[in-house]
Amino acid sequence: MGVFVLLPLLLPLTALPVARLAERHLHPRVATRLLSALAAVLALCSTVCLGLLVVVGTVQLPGHPLPDWADAWTEEEGPPTAPYEETAGKGAVVALLAVAVSWSTAARRHRRVRRRAADALAGVPGGELAVLTDEAAYAYALPAARPRSSGGWFARLSGRPSVGPHVPTEVSGGRIVVSTAMLACLDAGERAALVAHERAHLAGHHHRYLLAVRFAARANPLLMPLRSAVAYTTERWADEEAARVTGERRVVARAIGKAALVSRGTPTPTLAGFAAPGPVPRRVAALLEPEPSAVSWPSVFTAVGLAAWAAAAGTLGSALSSANATVTLFLVLRTAGPF
């Protein structure tokens, strides 16, 4: 394995330039999917790397959990399977435990917030849109297991007789939660933009992307730029969908600006909201420009294209390095004894 076993731990260093280029130059839908996949693969490879280092490093420590035949392997002369394998193994144990605790904490907090958000809707009339009487201004998409009907709330709040031919009456599941304080600061057109924005979050399953990059960043802190970038690109994705549905880019931009001035955000970063997170001035500026090109993959002869292809190559290299190290360790253990 050698130094290549450490490659998955170091490749996430490329996350910062890739994230910056992708969120600025790629269509937000493409950027969200690319960066989320990149974060998930790199986090998985990084975790596998830590597991391999634990096995390689702790086999030389007293009281290791491997069978007695592993002692013979450690006494054989030969090149080390990893640089400073004993020290690396001790550090990997601590790091892997930290990742496990961090994931467990994040999962419990996510479930707790989701449960509280669902409990807050008790007694609220059914339908896609749930309006809560609250002096705090907020709006966010709460995913659910089954799709729900819009129930006429959209037409009532937007001041329009119907949702129109371009607005779907059902989404793939979930509810749009908005407070009365948020609605009070928006006019009819801006309310329509808000509903279209949150509906895009539900239809695009943006909470899954946000959750994936959040867990990835907890597996390897070097992936935190990807978490921030995806939080921004999911909002931009929903902005563009809202502009497409309403046909009013300036109205959507105005609604986002108003909401940002009064909004308190969402209960958790994994629940997509109307005015957070992400740099609101950049979102407003993007909506005041023409719709971005929806090219699925950039040309390699551009800066963003080169970064995207480099990210793909780095991800593939990280995956191959992890697979090679895993297979090598398996063969070594199998040769050393009855595996």
Q: Which of residues 45 and 186 earns the better pLDDT score? A: 186
Mean pLDDT confidence for 141-155? 54
Higher-scoring residue by pLDDT: 197, 26: 197
Tell me the sheet residues that pair with 67. Answer: none
**Which range, of 77-81, 190-194, 255-259, 308-312, averages the lowest pLDDT?**
77-81
Rg (CA), the chain: 24
Q: How confident is the model at residue 171 (pLDDT cuts 50, 70, 90)?
A: very low
3-state secondary structure the chain: CHHHHHHHHHHHHHHHHHHHHHHHHCCHHHHHHHHHHHHHHHHHHHHHHHHHHHHHHHCCCCCCCCCCHHHHHHHCCCCCCCCCHHHHHHHHHHHHHHHHHHHHHHHHHHHHHHHHHHHCCCCCCCCCEEEECCCCECEEEECCCCCCECCCHHHHHHCCCCCCCCCCCECCCCEEEEEHHHHHCCCHHHHHHHHHHHHHHHHCCHHHHHHHHHHHHHHCHHHHHHHHHHHHHHHHHHHHHHHHHHCCHHHHHHHHHHHHHHECCCCCCCCCECCCCCCHHHHHHHHCCCCCCCCCCCCCCCHHHHHHHHHHHHHHHHHHHHHHHHHHHHHHHHHHCCC
Most confident of 111-120, 167-176, 249-258: 249-258
Q: Residue 338: its pLDDT value, please?
A: 45
Question: Given a cut of 60, is residue 67 above it in pLDDT?
Answer: no
Q: Which residue has the higher pLDDT, 234 or 315?
A: 234
State the pLDDT at residue 240.
94
Q: What is the number of structural domains in the chain? A: 1
Which pLDDT does position 166 carry in this prediction?
Answer: 39
Q: Looking at residue 302, what is its pLDDT?
A: 74
- Statement: residue 324 has pLDDT above 70: no
Q: How far is CA 103 from the centre of its chain?
A: 14
pLDDT in tens, 215-233: 999 999 988 999 999 999 9
Q: Is the pLDDT of residue 110 over 60?
A: yes
Of 269 and 42, the structure prediction assigns the larger pLDDT to 42
Average pLDDT, the chain: 76
Per-residue pLDDT at 193:
94
Alpha carbon distance 242, 248 (integer Å): 8
Would you state the pLDDT for residue 310? 72
Nearest CA among 34, 48, 51 for reference residue 212: 34
Please give the pLDDT value at position 261: 84
How does pLDDT run across 20-50, given as a tens digit for each residue?
888 888 889 988 998 998 899 888 888 888 8
pLDDT band of residue 158 (cuts 50, 70, 90) is very low
Residue of 94, 48, 18 lying closest to 318 (CA atoms): 48
Q: What's the pLDDT at 69?
A: 42
Domain limits for position 132? 2-336
CA proximity to 1, closest of 313, 331, 314, 316 = 331
Asked which of 129-138, 189-198, 249-258, 302-311 is least confident by mean pLDDT, the reply is 302-311
CB 11 within 8 A of CB 42: yes
Percent of the residues in the chain that have a pLDDT greater than 70, as a whole number: 68
Residue in the block written with tokens 């969402």:
266
- pLDDT score of 79 more than 50: no
With cut-offs at 50, 70 and 90, classify the pLDDT of residue 153: very low
- Looking at the chain, the whole-number percentage of residues with pLDDT higher than 90 is 25
Looking at the DSSP assignment, which residues form a beta bridge with residue 142? 175
pLDDT exceeds 90 at position 8: no
